[in-house]
Structure 1
Amino acid sequence: MSILSDELIERIRSRAAGYDASNSFFFDDLDELREAGYLRMFTPIERGGLGFGLEQVAKEQTRLATAAPATALAINMHLVWTGVAKTLLDRGDDSLAFVLDEAAHGELFAFGNSEAGNDLVLFGSTTRAEPQADGGYRYFGRKIFTSLSPAWTRLGIFGLDDSDPGHPMLVHGFITRDTPGYEIVDDWDALGMRATQSSTTILDGAFVPATRVVRMLPAGPSADPLIFAIFANFEILLAAVYTGIGERALALAVEAAHRRTSMKNDGRSYASDPDIRWKVADAAIAQDGIYPQIDALARDVDSLADHGRQWFPRLVGLKVRATENARFVVDQALRVSGGSTMASSSELGRLYRDVVAGIFHPSDGESAHSTVANAWLGPVS
C-alpha cells in the first residue's frame, strides 16, 4: 500500500497548476510529504525511517508524479542521495550513513553537481576544489539545475582538485544551508518543471570540512561504488517520475475520449471513433511496457544482483526508454484530447511542457548510446 493516500494525492494535484502558473516552489507539498514520512523512506527502520527499498520508492515516485511532476522531480534529488546512502549501506559501506540519519530528522538533501558544458557529468568538473590544511576543501564554481533551491538544508557538491597535476582528483562532499561562500541565483523561469525551482548555485569558497568529504576519486571514469549508486538511483527514479507523467496523460486521454463528442458520428463520443481508439491503445501499450522494466532493475539493485559491465547500459537504457516513452504517450494524449490542451489552464498542456525536461537529464540520448555501444562493441579503436 502506498504511503501517499488518495486524499494527499488529490491535494497535491490541486496545487500543481498554481505552482506552475506562479513559478513558485511547492512548500505546502513539501510539508505534507515530510509529515507522511516521504523524506525518510530509504532510511532503515532501526535508524528512524520507513525501511523502503528502491523498488518501493520508485513506485511511490510514479504515483506522486501523476499528481505533480515538478514536485516529484525535485523530491527525486533528495531521494537519490538517500537512495545512494542506502545502496552503499546494503553493500557494507557506511560512508554516507549520516545522510540516512539526517533525513530521518527532517533534513532535505539536494544535488549541486550539474555544470554548463560538462558532458563528462560525474567524470569531470569545471568546479575548482581547493585543498585546505585541515583536510577540508573550498569550492569555486557554478552549478546549474539545483532543484529544491528554496528549501534544501544539505547540498551535495563535487569539484576538481588539480593541485597535483599528475593526479587530478574529483572531490565529493556536502555543505549545509548555513555554510558561507555560496549564492543561489534567482534565475529559474523555465518552460516546464517550474515548481522544482532549480536555480543556479554559485560556489565562492564554500567550505566542506574533512568529516563531510565523502569521496576523492581520480578524474575520469570510475568503478567506485559511489558512482554506481548515484547512477542506479538517479536513472531508475527519473524513469519512475516520467512514467508517472505518462500514466496521468493516458488517464486524461481516456477522460477526453469519453467526454468529447463527434458531429460526424451522430453525437457519439470519440471513444467510439476507430482512430481515437487506436491512439489510446497505442499509448496504453507503450505505457504498460515500462512498469516491469523499472520494477525489475530496481529489484536487482535492492537484491545486490551483479550485472557486471552491463549495469550502466541497463540503467541508461531504462532512463532513455522511460523518458522517450512518456513523451510519446503525452503526444498521443494531446492528439486524442484536441485543441483545448493549448489553453494555459490545461493539465495535459502542462504535462506536455514538463515531459520535455526528460530529454536533458543525464544520461541524454547521445551519452546513453555511447555507453551501450561501448558495452557491446568495446571502445572505438
Structure 2
Amino acid sequence: MTLNTVNTKDAAVGVPAFPKPVTPAHIIRDDAEAIAVARQLASEIAPGAAARDRDRIWPVKELDAFSQSGLWSINVPKAFGGPEVSYATLAKVIEIVSAADSSIGQIAQNHLGVVAAIRTVSDEAQQRLLFGEVLKGVRFGNAFSEFGSKRAVDFETRFIDDGDHVIVKGQKFYSSGALLAHLVPIVALDDQGRAWYAIAERDAPGLTVIDDWSSFGQRTTLSGTVILDNVRVPKTHLVPGYKGYEVPTADGAIFQIIQVAVDTGIAQAAIDETIAFVRSKSRAWVDSGLEHAWQDPYTIQAIGDLTLRLHAAQALLEKAGHAIDRAILDPNAETVAEAQIVTAQAKVLSTEIAIAATNKLFELAGTRSTLAEHQLDRHWRNARTHTLHDPVRWKYAILGNYFLNGEKPPLHAWS
C-alpha cells in the first residue's frame, strides 16, 4: 500500500485544535424556528464575507455562532432530543447561510451528512452517545477524500483492531471544516475493505491538520491535508458507514442535497448582487436612449431568466427534501431511487444557475463591477469550485438511464 503524497513539509506545525464549546448549544424547536435562526445568522455573517474571502480569514466566530445556534443539530432525531426537521427545511437553511457566505454553508455539509449516517447505521447506544455530543454543539469535520486515489471511492486509509480501540493510518485531503472541528470522522477501511467512520478527537495524538488549501474558490472552507499517524479511536466512535450503502438508504441523497443547497445559495447571492449593482452603480448603455441601467430591456429580460431558473432549482430542491423525508420513513429501492433522482435533477439545475448567475453578474453590471473593491468575483470563483464536487454530466446519465431504462442510481455518497 502506498499513501498519497501531497505537501506535508509543514506537518510538524499542523494547526492546533480549537476547544469544544463550554456552553451547550441552543436546540431548535421546529422547522419555522430553523428558518428564522438561519436568516438571523445570515444577516450577521454576510457583511464580513467578502473580507474573509479576500484575506482568507478563518471564520472562527462565525462558525461558533453557526453551531451554537442549534442549526448543526437540526437532523438529530426527536427520539434523542433533536428537532428532526424536514430535509426540505435543512436544505433551505444551508441555502440561506450559503447566500451569506458559501464557505460557511459548505463547512456544515459533512457534519450533517455524518449525523444522518449515524441515524441510519449506528445502534441505539452509539446514537445516544454521538447525538448527545452534537446537541451540545460539538462539530464534526471530515477526513474522507484522498488526493491521489484512482477514483473518489478508492481509499488507502485503513485501521487495525487494538482491543477497545482501533488504530488509523493514512492521509486525507479536501477535508472541509477539519481545522475548526471538535471531532474528525475519518473514512477508513477494515481488513475486509469496508468503509467506516472512525470519529477521532481533533487533538488526538497522531492526527495533524495542515492548512494547505490553495483553491481560488471556497477559500475559507478550511479544507486541506489531514495526516493520520497511528491515531487511536475508541470503538464507541467507530461508525459502520458502509451499511448505509449496502442496501437502499437516503444517505447518499442527503450528502448530495446539501451540495445543491450551497449552489442555490451562491446563485441567490449573485443575483442579489447583480440587482443591487445595476440599480445603484451601473450606467445605461450609450445606444439605449435610457437614463438608468435598470431600464434596459435586455437587462430586464436577463434578470427574469436568471430568477426563473433559480426558482426552478429551488423548487426541485424542496421537492428533493420531501422525497428524502419519505425515503427515511420508508427506506426501500423505490423511495430511495426517487430521492436520488429528484436530488440529481436539482443538482443539475443548481450547478447551471450558479455558474450562469455568477458569470452574468459582470455582463449586466458592467466593467465597474470587476473592480477589486467590490470583491464580486468571489461568487464566480466559489460557484466554479464548489460545483466541481461531482460532475453534472454524470447526473444527466443517471437521469436518462432511470427514465429510459428503469435503471436505479448507484448507492454511494456521490449519487
* Structure 1 residues 168-179: aligned runs within 5 Å: 168-179=193-204
Instruction: Give the one of 289, 313, 318 matched to 1:290.
Output: 313
2:197 is paired with a residue whose SS is: strand
Aligned-pair RMSD on alpha carbons? 2.8
Gaps of 5+ in 2: 1-31, 409-415
- Tell which deviates more after alignment, 244-253 or 265-274: 265-274
Pair 1:232 & 2:253 matched:
yes
Alignment match of 2:218 (pick from 164, 171, 193): 193
Residue 37 of structure 2 is aligned to residue 4 of structure 1: yes
Alpha-carbon distance in 1 for matches of 2:65, 2:220: 16
Q: Give the Cα–Cα distance (whole angstroms) in 2 for the partners of residues 318 and 63 of structure 1.
A: 16
Within 1, Cα distance between the matches of 2:72 and 2:274?
A: 32
Instruction: Compute the displacement of 1:20 (Å).
Output: 0.9
Measured after TM superposition, the shift of residue 312 of structure 1 is: 3.5
Note the C-alpha offset of 1:71. 0.9
Contact preservation (8 Å) 2:194, 2:242? yes
| Structure 2 equivalent of residue 108 of structure 1 | 139
Cα distance change on mapping 1:300 and 1:337 into 2, 3 Å: same
1:209 corresponds to = 234
Measured against aligned partners, the alpha-carbon deviations of 1:173-198 in whole angstroms (never above 9, x if no partner) come to 21111321221112123201111111
Alignment of 1:35-74 (within 5 A): 35-44=68-77, 47-74=80-107
The percent of aligned pairs where both chains have the same amino acid is 21
2:129 aligns with 98
Match of 1:22 in 2: 55
* Distance across 1 between alignment mates of 2:273 and 2:242: 47
Q: Which residue of 2 aligns with 1:359?
A: 387
The aligned amino acid for 2:275 is V
Tell me the equivalent position of 2:184. 155
Match for 1:325 among 353, 371, 375? 353
Distance 1:171 1:61, change over 3 A: closer
Distance 1:347 1:287, change over 3 A: farther
Structure 1 residues 93 and 326, CA, compared in 2 at 3 Å: closer, same or farther? farther
1:85 CA displacement = 3.5
Q: Say if 1:110 and 1:148, in contact at 8 Å, map to a contact too.
A: yes
Q: What letter corresponds to residue 114 of structure 1 in structure 2?
A: S
State the SS of the aligned residue for 2:173: strand
Does structure 1 retain, via aligned residues, the 8 Å contact 2:57–2:220?
yes
> Any idea what SS the aligned residue of 1:188 has?
coil
Q: 1:125 aligns with which of 155, 162, 168?
A: 155
Report the residue type matching 2:171 in the other structure: R
Amino acid at match of 1:326: A
Correspondence 1:253 to 2:278: no
Corresponding residue for residue 294 of structure 2: 271
Post-superposition offset of 1:13: 0.7
Tell me the amino acid that sits aligned with residue 283 of structure 2: T
- SS of aligned partner of 1:146: coil
- Please state how far the C-alpha of 1:63 moved relative to its aligned partner: 0.9
Q: C-alpha separation between the residues in 2 aligned to 1:21 and 1:27?
A: 16
Q: Per-residue deviation at 1:291?
A: 1.2
Cα 1:371/1:52, change in 2 over 3 Å: same
Distance 1:157 1:24, change over 3 A: same
Aligned counterpart, 2:22: none
Is 1:145 aligned to residue 174 of structure 2?
Answer: yes
Structure 2 residue identity aligned to 1:107: V
Instruction: Give, in whole Å, the separation in 2 of the partners of 1:46 and 1:215.
Output: 21
TM-score, length-scaled by structure 2: 0.79
* Mapped partners of 1:331, 1:301: distance in 2: 31
Question: Mind listing any 5+ residue stretches in structure 1 that lack a counterpart?
Answer: none
After TM superposition, the score normalised by the length of structure 1 is 0.86
Q: Deviation of residue 136 (structure 1)?
A: 3.7
The 2-side partners of 1:61 and 1:296 are apart by 15
Contact between 1:42 and 1:79, CA under 8 Å: does it hold in 2? yes
Contact 1:324 1:358 in 2 (8 A): no
**Residues 1:348 and 2:400 are matched in the alignment:** no
Alpha-carbon spacing, 1:5–1:287, altered in 2? closer, same or farther (3 Å): closer
Give 1:87 shift: 5.7
SS for the counterpart of 1:147 is coil
> Aligned equivalents of 1:326 and 1:126: distance in 2?
33
Whole-angstrom distance in 2 between the partners of 1:373 and 1:237: 23
What is the distance in 2 between the residues matched to 1:231 and 1:343?
Answer: 40
* Residue 84 (structure 1) aligned to one of 105, 117, 125: 117
Q: Is the 8 A contact 2:143 2:178 kept in 1?
A: no
Aligned length: 366
State the secondary structure of the residue aligned to 2:227: strand
Counterpart of 1:336 in structure 2 is 364
SS in 1 for 2:174: strand
The CA distance in 1 between the partners of 2:150 and 2:257, in whole Å, is: 20
